A and B are shown apart, each in its own frame.
Chain A
Amino acid sequence: MTSTELDSDLPQAEIKSHYRISKVWLIPFVAFSIGIWMVVDNYYNRGPEIVITFDNAEGLEAGKTRVKTLNVDIGFVDKVLLNKDRRGVLVHVRLAQQAKSLLHQNSQFWVVKPRIGKGGISGLSTLTSGSYIEFVPGDSSEMGEEFVGLDQAPVTAQGIPGTRINLVSQQGDSLSIGEPVLYRGFEVGRIEQSQFNIAERLVHYQVFIKAPYNELLTENTYFWNASGINLNATADGVKVNVGSIETIISGGVAFDVPTDLPLGNAIDQAKDHILYPDQNSVYERRQYQAKEYVILFEDSVRGLEVGAPLEYRGIRVGTVAEIVSYLTPGNSFGSNERRIPVVVKFEPARIGMPNSSDSVDKISQYVEMWAKQGLKASLKSGSLLTGNLFVDLDYYEVDKNSDLADEFNQYQVIPSISGSLAQIEQKVFGILEKFEAMPINVTIDSINQMLSKATVTMQDLNQVVAQVELLLANQQTQQIPQHINQTLDELSDTLKSYNEQAPVYSEVEKSLQQFQQLMREMQPLIKELNNKPNSLIFENRAQSDREPKGQKND
């Protein structure tokens, strides 16, 4: 047996190709699939990325700083990059998917970090947790992806109902964002923005009055600075206005409708409102339709200020608008005109007339008529303490000046008369002149003569007094009061015996009663004698009285 035969006898192996993949590979496959799914899922479910611009990145850290709204974590800072112009930072924020619908264009972002200011201390919790970005969704219809972050938390959050008003102030007023807006001491809003307009040289404030207090705003509402303590010395005297403690410390704005105005209609938000420096200014510097006149004063105008009242017998009818200090053709040094022109505004709205141009036209006619009837202006002292003056209108005797004079720099001129102080001064001078003219020496001689005569009279009087003293010292004279007292006592005793309880009185009364009774009994007899004088001797047969008859006997 050969090896070949031997080989042929042996069973032949069936060789098959084995292409099956090992089941072990399932594990990496599944893992790979899950990975792919996670990536896809993450890609499709990830939230939007937004870019917020801040001035700096203080407190912001990529991957750590969270974004919150209503204290709910909705995202994180992904990247913090410098701006192209390197004047700010671009903060890339990845938000959760659910926040996508909140990204309105007017949404607000700001960094919450520890702050200490006039409004108090805030953000203390971030000392331990770290700064975060606060997000307040807006209410705009348009959505956005790029936002400008706020320096600090907004005074009024988006969506809070209320009214925003623009205030304009000529003074700086030192009002800050966040300071309160007060209505009669009650906080109803806050200052949201303050901006100095260089072109206008005015300060613009935006204040927010929250609902429902915005209903207090009407077209006759006036705003004033209620900060600190306001000390005001005017022609009316010294006035001190003190606000609430908060406004004294931090300041604030107050508003109200002046007591001399009706409430008015709803406020016009588009119109800028004047921020007056204090409450008194609302009454004194309020904008009125006015007719301007000039008054030429002979007296010194020292103490008269712009804004001083123009009064008619104590009722304010206008305001001093200007004290003309420059020379005009009418009062140049070369002319005979020495009077000082003062421009006054006659404001008809202050005396109950509508604040309109029609009222100004009417008051112009009235002033012309009043001037012809003797209306004149004079300077009077409003306060002896401050020495401030005001212009007073009143009627005086009609003379050749009682009319509106020719125009002075396009203003009509109201006639004037020297003020009370000047009049007093003139009277004092007049009295002094009379004193000077008096024959003092002759008068003193006469007084000396009179005094010498009076001395003689007094000596005589002293003698008389001495004699009277002697008379009074006499014992008999001193006993006179005693005798008078004794006599009065006796008289009193006598009168006592005749009073109602006295026996004499009762005896008299008893006697009178008996007399009356006797007279009553005598009356029939007297009448009988009157009818028949001889009836005492020859009386008729006794005739009994007629008697009333009873019904039973009828």
Chain B
Amino acid sequence: MIKPLIILSLGILLLGCQTPRMTVSYYQLAPMLKEGQQVALDKPQLLVEPVRLVDYLQRPNLLLKLESNELFVTKYQVWAEPLADGISRTIVNTINTNQQSIRADSSVFTRCRKKDQCVSLELLVESFYPTEQATVEFSGKYRLIRNRQVIHQEDFMLSRTLELDGYVHSVDLLRGLVTELSTKISQQVSHLE
């Protein structure tokens, strides 16, 4: 009789050790191309160099800005790929989808085809997160380089208002901010040409 009681007690104890499982959510930043397109090699080229992130963004977890100087690091909200790669691909895919006058390429994948028609983009991201104040922020600085000479440099601070709760909506808006920056950069490159 004692033996079943012991087994039952151990079972209850083991049930006490049971951990409620939480699901990890992975978020993809870069939009996927809807259809393939042939690369026009004769267009002016924007070569996107690897994106540099400030130290607190160099983590797979999404961040939530609580106060002006307080960040919350999520446990179960994770980027599906390194954030720098995600931003870089977002810029490239956005420009190649929306902009017909120039061609964007990742420097990881290709190099300058013609030096005179090639502009390199160097981007440093300083903030990229939703906030407790129902906004998303994307800030940093970028510069455009041609023939080893800086031809344009700018600090930017983009933000949008969160309409819905949750990280899915936040990531959508963050992607929208990257798209907005991409459009601005592509227009500047077009004017340079």
Point out residues on A near B: beta carbons under 8 Å.
520-521, 523-524, 528, 537-539, 541-542, 544-554
Closest B residue by C-beta to A535? B19
Q: Within the assembled complex, what's the spacing in Å between the Cα atoms of A520 and B134?
A: 28
Q: Are A549 and B162 in contact (CB under 8 A)?
A: yes
A354 to chain B, nearest CB (A): 56
Chain A contact residues: over half helix, strand or loop, or mixed? loop
Within the complex, the shortest CB–CB distance from B162 to chain A, in Å, comes to: 5
Contact of A548 among B22, B60, B61, B130 (CB under 8 A): B130
B51 interfacial contact with A, CB 8 Å: no
Besides A524-B60, A542-B20, A548-B170, 13 other CB < 8 A contacts?
A520-B82, A542-B21, A544-B76, A545-B77, A546-B64, A548-B134, A548-B136, A548-B165, A549-B134, A549-B162, A550-B134, A550-B165, A552-B163
Bound-complex Cα distance A552 to B161 (A):
10
Residues of B within 8 Å of A528, CB to CB, are: 75
What's the Cα separation between A547 and B132 when bound, in Å?
Answer: 8
Can you give 20 contacting A-B residue pairs, CB < 8 Å?
A523-B59, A523-B60, A524-B60, A524-B61, A537-B17, A539-B19, A542-B19, A542-B21, A545-B64, A545-B76, A546-B74, A548-B165, A548-B166, A548-B170, A550-B162, A550-B163, A550-B164, A550-B166, A550-B169, A551-B163
Within 8 Å by CB of B167, from A537, A538, A547, A551, lies: A547
User: Considering the complex, which residues of chain B in the window 144-189 have a beta carbon less than 8 Å from any beta carbon of chain A?
Assistant: 161-167, 169-170
- Interface residues in B46-88 by Cβ distance below 8 A to A read 59-61, 64, 66, 72, 74-78, 82
Task: Collect the chain A residues with CB atoms within 8 Å of residue B78's CB.
Answer: 524
Does B162 lie within 8 Å of A548, measured CB to CB?
yes
Known: A521-B60, A542-B19. A548 touches B167 (CB 8 A): yes
B131 at the interface (CB under 8 A from A): yes
In the assembled complex, which residues on chain A have CB atoms less than 8 Å from the CB atom of B61? 524
* Beta-carbon contact of B17 and A548 below 8 Å: no
Q: How far is the CB of B82 from chain A (nearest CB, A)?
A: 8
What band does the interface of chain B fall in when counting residues whose beta carbon is under 8 Å from A? 20 to 34
For B136, give the chain A residue with the smallest CB separation: A548
Contact with A542, one of B22, B161, B164 (Cβ below 8 angstroms): B22
Q: Which residues of A contact B66 (CB under 8 A)?
A: 546
Query: A457 → chain B, closest Cβ, in Å?
Result: 62
A-B interface contact total, Cβ < 8 Å: 65
Interfacial chain A residues near B82, Cβ < 8 Å = 520
Tell me the bound Cα distance from A25 to B71 in angstroms.
Answer: 159
- Complex formed: what's the CA distance from A198 to B93 in Å? 107
* CA of A520 to CA of B131, assembled, Å: 24
Which B residues touch A538, using CB under 8 A?
17
The 8 Å CB contact of B132, one of A539, A541, A542, A548, is: A548
List, in ascending order, chain A residues with CB within 8 A of B162's CB: 548-551
Would you call B19 and A546 a contact (CB within 8 A)?
no
Q: How far is the CB of B56 from chain A (nearest CB, A)?
A: 14
Q: Give residues 8-48 of B contacting A (CB, 8 Å).
A: 17, 19-22
Q: Cα distance A541–B17 when bound, in Å?
A: 10
A552 with B164, Cβ < 8 A, contacts A537-B17, A542-B22, A546-B64 known: yes
Q: Is there an interface contact between A549 and B132, defined as CB atoms closer than 8 Å?
A: yes
Query: Which 4 pairs of residues, A with B, have the shortest CB-CB distance?
Result: A548-B130, A545-B74, A542-B20, A550-B164
CB-defined contacts of B131 to chain A, threshold 8 Å? 548
In the assembled complex, the Cα of A550 lies from the Cα of B161 at a distance in Å of: 8
A528 to B73, CA, bound (A): 12
Given A521-B60, A549-B134, A549-B165, answer yes or no on A544-B20 (Cβ-Cβ < 8 Å): no
